[in-house]
Amino acid sequence: MKSILFLATSLLLSLSVHAEAPDIASGQRLFTESRCLECHGVDVFTSKDRKVKNLAGLESKVRQCDANLSTNWFDDQILDVVAYLNSTYYKFKPTTANETAKAAAGALIDVAEKPQTE
């Protein structure tokens, strides 16, 4: 009985943790374990000519490439990967209310608070 309770509690915990904040470590795992680097390297994320200009753009690009690859990530996995790519390469501050709300959830806030050198 105790172990069932424990299992139920940890399941609940992991579910709620996931619902609240994007998980950069999970994003990194998903990104490196998927075939994301088959068509391009990570250099496209830092190139001067990169196309993505903000967090919303990053999210839509990740969704598009996820669809191309048929990875079928869930929404929270997409957001984990977005958080990972943003914290590692793009370093966007959240700009819209929606992005601010997501950032307020946690993981992106570190990036947002770093002074930007522009």
**Minimal distance in Å, beta carbon 9 to ligand HEC?**
32
The phi and psi torsions of 96 (rounded to 5 degrees) equal: -90, 165
Q: At what angle do helices 97-104 and 55-69 cross, to 10 degrees?
A: 80
Q: How far is the CB of 115 from ligand HEC (least distance, A)?
A: 22
Cβ nearer to ligand HEC, comparing 33 with 113 = 33
Spell out the alpha helix ranges (H) of the chain.
Answer: 2-20, 24-33, 43-46, 55-69, 75-85, 97-104, 109-113
The C-alpha angle with vertex 26 and arms to 37 and 11, in degrees rounded to 5, equals 145
**Interior CA angle at 15 toward 56 and 24, to 5°?**
45
Nearest distance from C-beta of residue 79 to ligand HEC, angstroms: 12
For binding to ligand HEC (CB under 6 A), which residues are involved?
A: 31, 34-36, 38-40, 44-45, 50-52, 58, 61-62, 65-66, 68-69, 71, 81, 85
- For ligand HEC, the closer of residues 1 and 74 by Cβ is 74
Specify the residue, 66 or 99, whose C-beta has the smaller distance to ligand HEC: 66
Least distance (Å) between residue 71 CB and ligand HEC: 5
Residue 72 and residue 89: Cα distance in Å, rounded? Answer: 23
Nearer to ligand HEC, 58 or 112 (CB): 58
